[in-house]
Amino acid sequence: MKKRLLLCFLIVLIGCLLTAQSIYSFYGPAEISYQRDTFGSGMGGVGIGDLFRHNTTLLNPALSTTIDRVHFSTAVSMGNIYYKDAENHTFRDDQVFLPYFNIIIPVSNHRFGVHYQNISSGKLDTEKQLEVSFDDEIFEVTEIQRQAYTLFKAGLFYAHKNDIVNFGLGLNYMFGHNVRFSQQRFDELDYLSGRFEIEHTFSNPSFDIGLAKIYKNISTGVSFSLPVDLKGDNYFKTNTLNEHQGDAVYEYPARAALGITYKILDNVFITTDFDVELWGDTNNFENSVDTYRAALGMSWEGNRHSRNFLAQIPFRAGISTRNLPFEINGHQIYEMAYYSGLSFPLKQYESYLQVAFKYFTRGDELKHEYSEDGFLFTIGTSGFDFFTRRTDRKAPRDIPMPDRRY
């Protein structure tokens, strides 16, 4: 047990060190998590109101009422992203990050749990070759620019299961940082110029509220996240200086989500989700705008009684569209994404290996200076009731003797 809890802690720690990539990271948070689980991530990033399955989409804590045993789930996302500028120059970045981690514990009609989620992150390293004239000599200079942005959420949640409506409340602690770094390197002189870095750190509690309800073949859910000012510190750093320059504030916007799932057949479902984030009410970056996201997905739950192994494997697919929370050159930036996913049952009861694939495109190099496209492969686990000790059927035990009656 101690080893497993230590492993969980290390997974969360590693996740804090890894981030997603985007060419738009200098402008704002381009890579935003909509906090669906791996199952939902394989069918369009949906599931905010799906009570027909074991659902660990913790943006809506009411969905944890679908869990009847102690439940553990986590995932890792990895992939490549390709950038293109107006002059047809292309670049490539690799990315890997931990999207979420949670444990759900059922007690009668109550659900308790802990969670960690990567809300948003972005990282971009750039280098540019320049020529500088000094004392009638020309020197080659490499200009280095780096941007790193992270925002995480961890905390506790509670849900209550009842016949009227399932209710959930999340008590979170949000924390993150924003770092801008620049430096010039004189290659021929083996000399580094002054290093400049501006770092903002921020954190504060936040709250999520969720409702979910099934009515015949329709399941629906709503979730609300209240706006919060994340407060922290500003630091200015050079080769010889690390100076505190006052307080920092990061405005996290109000957000709402609505999801509807329709059960077409016993093993076929169609789901649609809508998300709204009021980034236009914040002053975190220039030209911020509200964001809207629509997603549609379909899932086949598999036929467990089929002799064909492939027919037993659940399959899903979906599509989504959204706009990024900032404009460039007066133009909004849109993302189109396409998804697919599979579930593989494991030996342990109600435990699965979940995989999801996402291909996306963002922006236009003529309107926004750059465009990008890429893919993410997510692999996760769900289930693993490691709090319940298995019955040792090999251990010696007393066998009751039947009464002999004459």
Alpha-carbon radius of gyration of the chain: 25
CA 112 to the chain's CA centroid: 21
Strand partners, 366: none
State the amino acid at position 64 in one-letter form. S
Residue 233 token pair:
């510190």
Q: For residues 180-211, b (16+ Cβ closer than 10 Å) or e, as one string?
A: ebbbbeeeeeeeeeeeebebbbbbbebebbbb
Strands in 28-99 per DSSP E: 71-85, 90-97
Quickly tell me which residue has 């399932």 as its tokens: 166
CATH code of 2-383, in short, is 2.40.160.60
Q: Is 332 helix (H, G, I), strand (E, B) or coil?
A: strand
Strand partners, 271: 261, 297
Using a 10 angstrom Cβ sphere, with 0-12 exposed, 13-18 middle and 19 or more buried, the burial of residue 389 is: exposed
- The per-residue pLDDT for 145 is 81
- DSSP for 111-171, please give it: EEEEEEEEEEEEEEEEEEEEEEEETTEEEEEEEEEEEEEEEEEEEEEEEE--SS-EEEEEE
Quickly tell me which residue has 């504060």 as its tokens: 204
Kindly report the three-state secondary structure assignment for every residue of 93-122. Answer: EEEEECCEEEEEEEECCEEEEEEEEEEEEE
Quickly tell me which residue has 């290390």 as its tokens: 10
User: Per 3-state DSSP, what percentage of the chain is helix, strand, and coil (rounded to 5)?
Assistant: 10, 60, 30
CA distance to 29, 211, 295, 296, 300, per residue, from 271 (Å): 27, 17, 8, 6, 12
What are the counts of helices (DSSP H) followed by strands (DSSP E) for the chain?
Answer: 4, 18
Give the Cα separation of 406 and 400 in Å (integer): 19
Strand partners, 111: 106, 159
CB atoms within 10 A of CB 375: 15
Residue 322 token pair:
């959204």
Residue 104 token pair:
């759900």
Q: Where are the domains of the chain?
A: 2-383
Residue 334: closest CA among 307, 294, 300: 294
Q: What angle do CA 220, 214, 298 make, to 5 degrees?
A: 55
In sequence order, the 6+-apart residues with CB closer than 8 A to the CB of 195 are 181, 182, 183, 237, 238, 239
For the chain, the maximum distance between any two Cα atoms, rounded to a whole number of angstroms, is 120
In sequence order, the 6+-apart residues with CB closer than 8 A to the CB of 162 are 109
- Does the pTM surpass 0.85? The reply is no
Sequential pLDDT tens for the chain (406 residues): 444 444 444 444 444 445 567 888 888 888 888 889 999 999 999 999 999 999 999 899 999 999 988 999 999 999 888 988 888 888 888 888 889 999 999 999 999 999 999 998 877 777 777 776 666 677 777 778 888 888 999 999 999 999 899 999 999 999 998 888 888 777 666 666 777 888 999 999 999 999 999 999 999 999 999 999 999 999 988 877 888 888 889 999 999 999 999 999 888 999 999 999 999 999 888 889 999 999 999 998 877 666 776 777 889 999 999 999 999 988 999 999 999 999 888 877 678 889 999 999 999 988 888 899 999 999 998 887 655 555 555 556 556 655 554 3
Give the Cα separation of 261 and 11 in Å (integer): 32
- The per-residue pLDDT for 33 is 86
Contact between 51 and 357 under an 8 Å Cβ cutoff? The reply is: no
- The per-residue pLDDT for 114 is 94
Quickly tell me which residue has 């709503």 as its tokens: 222
